[in-house]
Amino acid sequence: MNDKEKAKINIEDLIPHQGKMILVDRIVTLEKDYAVTSSTVGKSWPLLTDGGARSLILVELAAQCAGVCNGWGRIQTHGMDSDRMGWLVGVKRAGFKIDIIPFNSKIITRAENTKNYDGLREIESLLKLNNEIIGEVTLQLFQADR
């Protein structure tokens, strides 16, 4: 798929989330083994408190960015109309440098497949706000055979 065809892909084509649970606003970079996404903290997000979102939401942003990357892999392998079956996700490690992310903050997330074994993947994610790292998350994903 070339860049023009890639530009026609929607976030909904890549991840199993719908409606308000889609926290990714924009796909910045989409490659075989990694993706970069942009998300803006909104008042409809889960895990809200006064002034913003709790930093635990960074785990979900890492998972959705990983979903974008691995959804792209699914489309390349099985085609656009293939099943958007979700993954079981485990958090191996997560560290946050802030407690609350203010409303309207733009978070840039990079998720990369660092290990890939038959149906199991390990993902390293880095999350930034104003070019400063605010979170690092390692996820383990498992997907049963289609």
User: How far apart (Å, rounded) are the C-alpha atoms in residues 31 and 26?
Assistant: 14
Task: Tell me: pLDDT of 4 over 60.
Answer: no
3-state SS assignment for residue 129: strand
The domain total for the chain is 1
Neighbours of 1 (CB within 10 A): 13
**C-alpha dihedral sign at 52, 58, 63, 69:** positive
Query: Which residues span the domain enclosing 133?
Result: 3-142
Q: What are the pLDDT digits (tens) for 6-17?
A: 666 777 777 777
Q: Following DSSP, what letter does each residue of 50-109 receive, concatenated?
A: TTEEETTHHHHHHHHHHHHHHHHHHHHHH-TTS-----EEEEEEEEES-SEEETT-EEEE
Q: What are the pLDDT digits (tens) for 26-77?
A: 999 988 899 999 999 999 999 999 999 999 999 999 999 998 888 777 767 7
User: How far apart (Å, rounded) are the C-alpha atoms in residues 18 and 84?
Assistant: 12
More confident residue, 82 or 131: 131
> Once rounded to an integer, what is the mean pLDDT over residues 84-96?
83
CATH number at residue 113: 3.10.129.10
